[in-house]
């Protein structure tokens, strides 16, 4: 049976995202304390796959996951899922809003419902818990009056949803990644994303050169993050998400070009794009009109080149 | 007397950073609960200046600060400070390592000392507090046995430093910003940084075009972050740190160019670079050799242009 | 009275182009033997203006003119004219096509009517003359039977037009420039061209950097030619024609940028574009969408920059 | 026996250049009237190879040759030769400088010795001939007193060299191309040139995009010329000379990229660079440092890509 590690505890958004993935069907779920532990479980073989949050529209990228993905031995992303972040106020059955004197949640949960709490529970004490799920457990045990949690936690802990959709930014979403040891990537669907990380020499032009390699080949960039390299002063890993699949010629040529240009480049996976991802239509770097960079155009150009090299008619 | 709001409570790294700044001399310190509260205090005039963490070499950028800086009304950065993140294990006098059954800290403190705790306190329960300083207070009150805090908190709470420099990444540093309402920027020192944020139309070439405006004018980019714009689907603020000062012609011309090109551009301040910042020598975007973009070269070129326009000899 | 030197002899295309220019009204015409002589006459003051061909759609740029324009002392172009190159077969009255045994013209005239002559005068001997006008004079003197000339020469030499529009490429056109000593350029019309020449250091990136300076400022390039620099091995003058006028801020900023970047840059004039020039809609180098580089946008950006520098609200 | 057409008549610079090429050994030489006739002879099979001037350091590119190379059916350059243009004054034996009343040459010969003639033969009449060799023949026949010709013509026509090296620009050189029907290109020597021509859509960014395809792959550009396309208004063929050989991976990938990007692209040959060519060290377009674009680096990158696609460890 497939074992899938995930950022625990149970009944958090990560489990909810994992349940939406086909790989979850029939799998054993292994909650881990922290994203680094999830990646470690996949690396040491105690889990076959791992599910971690990678980017939140309010909180930004998850640094521990970005840093963990470029550590050794290699891991790759094989699927992504996007989840609307939906916070609810959970209480023990019978509790009314007027009864709530204490409200608890993970710091992120508190941060994303700050305005709602200030408006509706102005007199309540706000307390921090280790996770949104743990806050629900604490409410169930009677330690606090209310928890800001995923609705999923209500059922698990026998709580009621006193108020739903209480996030200050209604549209907040989180992107989750399913990671695996290296292996053949999922087949191209025509609607894929490729993640990679690269370091460049710390000199003028390095980043612009890197982006130009993508742009001339018509590769769209949907996300860019820089992360300092832990053991090297003032050097960075650039994390890039691009549209396309490693099996496509444009992406293959671009990856090979980065391999030549960059000090280090890590392929972090090609996988189907989630329908309405954080970055689906995000800023692009292709400034240079290219008259058709699809596989057919690449094949035609390659065929022409081979003809020219053989002395045929151009 | 100058009132300076800062990310509280007292005795955290932010206060330590603030104390290193010239503006702190003789000022009244106003601890605030959260970076958004610091920015709000400066905006509503209840404080003259505000000090917040903006970037940590382990945790990355601080999203709430980036998002807060581009909100209205405008704020600008007038100084930066870089602080080595130094964690210590604080205990009540007399406590030995063997006595420690519980250790508390802010989630970031726990995250950055995870390995040390696992090695030296493998049996201890780890608990989360609202801040590293609050953890020290809790230890002082006898609620927990040890706190992972800034050494500064020991003195404040009457605790002993049982172990110092316990961070897993010895070189971790945090960059702090002192923000103010708009006003004439600090004078150029020849060793300055300019922060800005810009949004671009969500179409191919936008990011590359933006970076090229900097590159052709010899402006070095030391940091780039993208932050989703809260109320607009799949659009981003790009936060850029550059070397140079708004009073210099190269930077001025580049800013004006971004003003023409970008949907929105926010000048976030020109201020002296801290000596050994996170990003001091970070990746640059200037691919195009420019034979001298200093003020004298700009002045010479402008003089030549005026001569040409007047019909003089080129 | 204005004296205008032009590439002689009389009754060539250059005189025809000159007559189409407003400056020709009431001026004294001074035919010169060769374009270098025209430029020399303007430089030494023996003429006020000079008219030379600069580019032909069949023959390409006129190297002697390009090289002459970057010599010292400086000259600038103040007007251009475009002339459809129309060749006719001129004969003495009474001569029929069957009578033509010899046909003469300037080498360019022969080159551009080669196919017509081969088809219609297959048995005729083809002879070269110093100019198309001289060929007509030779026919008038009875030395040859027919001349390939501008129709204008028929009247001057008392010849008949036996066949008109005999050029192999019906659409061939020539662009002519009216040059003057440096002086205030003609006022901008909103439909102008600016000519310039620049040399760059002989190293990678030089040309791309130069073109990028134009592109980021939305300047369209309508022609590019490289000319070896006579006294420096393997170095080149790049001759560029751009859309826009030196008085416009985008062009001014681009020229100043070239002045900083290039070893040498020569402003060669801003002048009204001829309606249907050789290069009116020619290839452009602006890859980077710019949301409005007109004077109003530049003024708005400059005003914003000054506000920011003064500490105002961005 | 190999038949080689060349720009005649005999004893011109073109024959001299052809004699310097290995292919000339034992070949039959076929003088043609005009470069178009040379190309036509190769196209129709009446010659196996053709030798034409392609670029002169004083006169610039030879438009008829550039235009002829992109006509159909295709031709490719298989060798280049560079010749110092050396003009001599040829006379019948016994003629002294004082005796010279008339001097004849091809217009280019006159243009390149204008200053010498003005200084040394100020009173002589200058006459134009169809070629420098024909001028020598005319002198031999007694029609004129002196000819400006290649020294080679003296021996052929039984003339004396009265003055040698009389060109105004001592360093003038001409580049000649040996063209052939398509066939496998000459083997790479490590010191090769590749010629190509491309048309682009007539829209902003087209030329910059084209140059960027070369630059990102580390291809140096040694010459660029634009030629109007005869039958399409305001569209251009760009003629490019680059360093490298079509068999090399960087050049191959760049050519394939141009094939995808450009409306039309014509491979015009890869061949050994002549030692001290017009453009040997000419301006380059590679702005983007590339850490090793040699064949070994390309092979390593390709191998890595294949490993990644197969699911191996990156």
Each residue's pLDDT tens digit, A139-188: 999 989 999 999 989 999 999 999 999 998 777 889 999 999 999 999 99
pLDDT (average), residues B60-71: 89
Which pLDDT belongs to residue B225?
84
Which pLDDT belongs to residue D201?
72
CB distance C176 to C81 below 8 Å: yes
Chain D interface, best mutation among A305, A306, A307, A312, by max D CB count within 10 A: A305
Which pLDDT belongs to residue A234?
64
Which of D57, D228, D281 lies nearest to residue C202, judging by beta carbons? D281
Identical fold between C1-85+171-183 and C88-163: yes
Chain C interface, best mutation among B180, B181, B187, B260, by max C CB count within 10 A: B260
Beta strands in A106-220 (DSSP E): 125-128, 146-149, 160-163, 173-180, 192-199
For residue D310, what is the DSSP state? T
Q: Give the CA count within 13 Å in the CB-facing half-sphere of A235.
A: 15
Containing D122, the helix (H) or strand (E) segment is none
Whether C288 and A287 lie within 8 Å, measured CB to CB: yes
Whether B213 and C208 lie within 8 Å, measured CB to CB: no
- Predicted confidence band at D234 (pLDDT cuts at 50, 70, 90)? low
**Is the domain covering B1-84+172-183 a CATH 3.20.20.220 domain?**
no
Q: Is the pLDDT score of B74 beyond 90?
A: yes
CB distance D109 to D135 below 8 Å: yes
Q: What secondary structure, in 3-state letters, does chain B show?
A: CCEEEEECCCCCHHHHHHHCCHHHCCCEEEEECCHHHHHHHHHCCCCCEEEEEEEECCCEECHHHHHHHCCCCCCEEEEEEEEECCCEEEECCCCCHHHCCEEEECHHHHHHCHHHHHHHCCCCEEEECCCHHHHHHHHHCCCCCEEEECCHHHHHHCCEEEECCCCCCCCCEEEEEEEECCCCCCCCCCCEEEEEEEECCCCCCHHHHHHHHHHHCCCCEEEEEEEECCCCCCCEEEEEEEECCCCCHHHHHHHHHHHHHCCEEEEEEEEECCCCCCCCCCCCCCCCCCCCCCHHHHHHHHHHHHHHHCCCCC
Whether B259 and C305 lie within 8 Å, measured CB to CB: yes
Closest Cα in chain A, distance from residue C289 (Å): 8
Which pLDDT belongs to residue A289?
36
User: Residue D298: what are its φ and ψ, rounded to 5°?
Assistant: -65, -40
C177: left (phi over 0), alpha (psi -120 to 50) or beta: beta
pLDDT (average), residues D150-162: 93
- Predicted confidence band at C280 (pLDDT cuts at 50, 70, 90)? very low
Which pLDDT belongs to residue B282?
35
Q: Is the pLDDT score of C268 beyond 60?
A: yes
pLDDT (average), residues B287-301: 61
Whether A288 and C287 lie within 8 Å, measured CB to CB: yes
Chain A residue with Cα closest to D292: A260
For residue C90, what is the DSSP state? E
In angstroms, the CA A285 to CA B119 distance is 45
Each residue's pLDDT tens digit, B105-153: 987 888 889 889 989 999 888 877 878 888 999 999 998 999 999 998 9
pLDDT (average), residues B46-58: 91
In angstroms, the CA D203 to CA A298 distance is 23
In angstroms, the CA B140 to CA D8 distance is 103
* Residue environment code for D41-50, b if the CB has 16+ CB neighbours within 10 A, otherwise e: bbbeeebbbb
Contacting residues of A for D237, CB less than 8 Å apart: none
Which pLDDT belongs to residue B141?
95
Each residue's pLDDT tens digit, D275-297: 644 443 333 333 333 333 577 88
Q: How far is CA A229 from CA A115, A202, B176, B220, B244, in A?
A: 36, 12, 20, 19, 24
Query: What percent of chain A stands above pLDDT 70?
Result: 90
Which pLDDT belongs to residue A236?
81
Q: Is the pLDDT score of D85 beyond 50?
A: yes
Residue with tokens 């439909």: C191
Which of B184, B213, B289 lies nearest to residue C311, judging by beta carbons? B184
Whether D267 and A291 lie within 8 Å, measured CB to CB: no
Which pLDDT belongs to residue A24?
97
Chain B interface, best mutation among D212, D215, D283, D287, by max B CB count within 10 A: D287
3-class secondary-structure state, position C192? strand
Across the B/D interface, how many CB contacts are shorter than 8 Å? 4
Average pLDDT, chain C: 86
- Predicted confidence band at B277 (pLDDT cuts at 50, 70, 90)? very low
Q: Is the pLDDT score of B57 beyond 80?
A: no
Whether A297 and D260 lie within 8 Å, measured CB to CB: yes
pLDDT (average), residues B268-290: 56
CA D103, distance to chain mean position in Å, is 28
Selected residue with higher pLDDT from C121 and D304? C121
Whether A291 and D260 lie within 8 Å, measured CB to CB: yes
CB distance D270 to D245 below 8 Å: yes
In angstroms, the CA D282 to CA C202 distance is 6
Whether C209 and B289 lie within 8 Å, measured CB to CB: yes
pLDDT (average), residues A186-196: 94
Whether D302 and A256 lie within 8 Å, measured CB to CB: yes
Q: Is the pLDDT score of B164 beyond 60?
A: yes
Which of A60, A64, A279 lies nearest to residue B61, judging by beta carbons? A60
D1-84+171-183: CATH class: alpha beta
Name D157's Cβ contacts closer than 8 Å, sequence gap at least 6: D11, D90, D133, D136, D137, D139, D140
In angstroms, the CA C91 to CA C89 distance is 7
Q: Is the pLDDT score of B232 beyond 50?
A: yes
Q: Is the pLDDT score of A201 beyond 80?
A: no
Chain A interface, best mutation among C208, C216, C283, C287, by max A CB count within 10 A: C287
Which pLDDT belongs to residue D286?
33
CB distance A191 to A273 below 8 Å: yes
pLDDT (average), residues B284-305: 62
Whether B287 and A128 lie within 8 Å, measured CB to CB: no
Each residue's pLDDT tens digit, A31-70: 998 899 999 999 999 999 999 999 887 777 888 899 999 9
A184-301: CATH class: alpha beta
Across the B/C interface, how many CB contacts are shorter than 8 Å? 130
Q: What's the first-to-final CA gap in chain C, in angstroms? A: 56
Closest Cα in chain C, distance from residue A217 (Å): 15
Q: Among the listed ranges B38-52, C66-80, C281-295, which one has the minimum average pLDDT value?
A: C281-295
Which pLDDT belongs to residue D285?
34
Each residue's pLDDT tens digit, C34-59: 899 999 999 999 999 999 999 887 77
User: CA A122, A127, A133 angle in degrees (round to 5)?
Assistant: 115
Q: Is the pLDDT score of D10 beyond 90?
A: no
Selected residue with higher pLDDT from A255 and B277? A255
pTM here? 0.81
Each residue's pLDDT tens digit, C85-124: 889 999 999 999 999 999 999 878 888 898 899 899 998 8
Which of C252, C291, C305 lies nearest to residue B261, judging by beta carbons? C291
Q: What's the first-to-final CA gap in chain B, in angstroms? A: 56
Contacting residues of A for B205, CB less than 8 Å apart: 215, 284-288
A1-85+172-183: CATH class: alpha beta
Each residue's pLDDT tens digit, C136-165: 999 999 989 999 999 989 999 999 999 999
Closest Cα in chain D, distance from residue A238 (Å): 17
**Is the domain covering D184-314 a CATH 3.90.79.10 domain?**
no
Name A97's Cβ contacts closer than 8 Å, sequence gap at least 6: A120, A121, A162, A163
CB distance A217 to A273 below 8 Å: no
Which pLDDT belongs to residue D280?
35
Each residue's pLDDT tens digit, A90-146: 999 999 999 999 999 987 888 789 889 989 999 888 877 878 888 999 999 998 999
Q: Is the pLDDT score of A273 beyond 90?
A: yes
Q: Is the pLDDT score of C234 beyond 70?
A: no
Whether D314 and A266 lie within 8 Å, measured CB to CB: yes
Classify domain C1-85+171-183 at the CATH superfamily level.
Periplasmic binding protein-like II (3.40.190.10)
- Predicted confidence band at C299 (pLDDT cuts at 50, 70, 90)? confident
State the Cα torsion D259-D263-D269-D272 to the nearest 10°.
-70
Whether C185 and B212 lie within 8 Å, measured CB to CB: no
DSSP A70-94: TSSS--EEEEEEEEE---EEEE-TT
Contacting residues of C for B302, CB less than 8 Å apart: 256
- Predicted confidence band at B92 (pLDDT cuts at 50, 70, 90)? very high
CA D253, distance to chain mean position in Å, is 25
Which pLDDT belongs to residue C195?
96
Contacting residues of A for C287, CB less than 8 Å apart: 287-289
Contacting residues of B for D287, CB less than 8 Å apart: 287-288
Q: Is the pLDDT score of A292 beyond 70?
A: no
Whether D305 and A256 lie within 8 Å, measured CB to CB: yes
Average pLDDT, chain D: 86
> What crossing angle do the helices spanning A249-261 and A206-216 adopt, rounded to 10°?
160
In angstroms, the CA B17 to CA B7 distance is 11
Which of B58, B59, B207 lies nearest to residue A221, judging by beta carbons? B207
Contacting residues of B for A108, CB less than 8 Å apart: none
- Predicted confidence band at A279 (pLDDT cuts at 50, 70, 90)? very low
3-class secondary-structure state, position A253? helix
Q: Which CATH architecture has domain C88-163?
A: 3-Layer(aba) Sandwich (3.40)
Q: Among the listed ranges B33-37, B208-212, B267-271, which one has the minimum average pLDDT value?
A: B208-212
- Pairing, β B160-163 against β B173-180: unpaired
Contacting residues of C for A287, CB less than 8 Å apart: 287-288
pLDDT (average), residues B219-231: 80
Which pLDDT belongs to residue D139?
96
| Domain coordinates in residue numbering, chain B | 1-84+172-183, 88-163, 184-314
């Amino acid at each position: 049976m497939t074992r899938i590690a995930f950022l625990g505890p149970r009944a958090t958004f990560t489990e909810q995202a994992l349940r939406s993935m086909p790989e979850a069907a029939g799998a054993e779920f292994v909650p881990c304390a922290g994203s680094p532990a999830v990646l470690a479980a996949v690396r040491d073989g105690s889990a076959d796959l791992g599910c971690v949050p990678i980017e939140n529209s309010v909180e930004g990228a998850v640094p521990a996951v970005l840093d963990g993905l470029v550590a050794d031995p290699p891991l790759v992303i094989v699927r992504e899922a996007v989840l609307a972040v939906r916070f609810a106020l959970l209480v023990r059955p019978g509790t009314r809003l007027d009864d709530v004197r204490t409200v608890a949640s993970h710091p992120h949960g508190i941060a994303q419902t700050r305005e709602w709490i200030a408006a509706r529970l102005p007199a309540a004490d706000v307390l921090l818990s280790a996770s949104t799920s743990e806050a629900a457990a604490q409410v169930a045990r009677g330690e606090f009056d209310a928890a800001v949690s995923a609705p999923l936690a209500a059922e698990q802990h026998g709580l009621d949803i006193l108020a739903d959709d209480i996030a200050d930014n209604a549209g907040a979403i989180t992107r989750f990644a399913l990671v695996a040891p290296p292996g053949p990537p999922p087949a191209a669907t025509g609607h894929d994303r490729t993640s990679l990380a690269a370091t460049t020499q710390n000199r003028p032009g390095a980043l612009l050169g890197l982006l130009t390699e993508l742009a001339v080949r018509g590769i769209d960039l949907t996300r860019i993050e820089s992360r300092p390299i832990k053991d090297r002063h003032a050097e960075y890993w650039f994390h890039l998400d691009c549209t396309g699949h490693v099996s496509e010629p444009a992406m293959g040529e671009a990856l090979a070009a980065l391999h030549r240009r960059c000090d280090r480049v890590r392929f972090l996976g090609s996988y189907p794009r989630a329908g309405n991802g954080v970055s689906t239509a995000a800023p692009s770097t292709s400034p240079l009109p290219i008259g058709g960079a699809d596989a057919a155009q690449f094949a035609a150009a390659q065929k022409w080149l081979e003809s020219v090299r053989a002395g045929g008619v151009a």
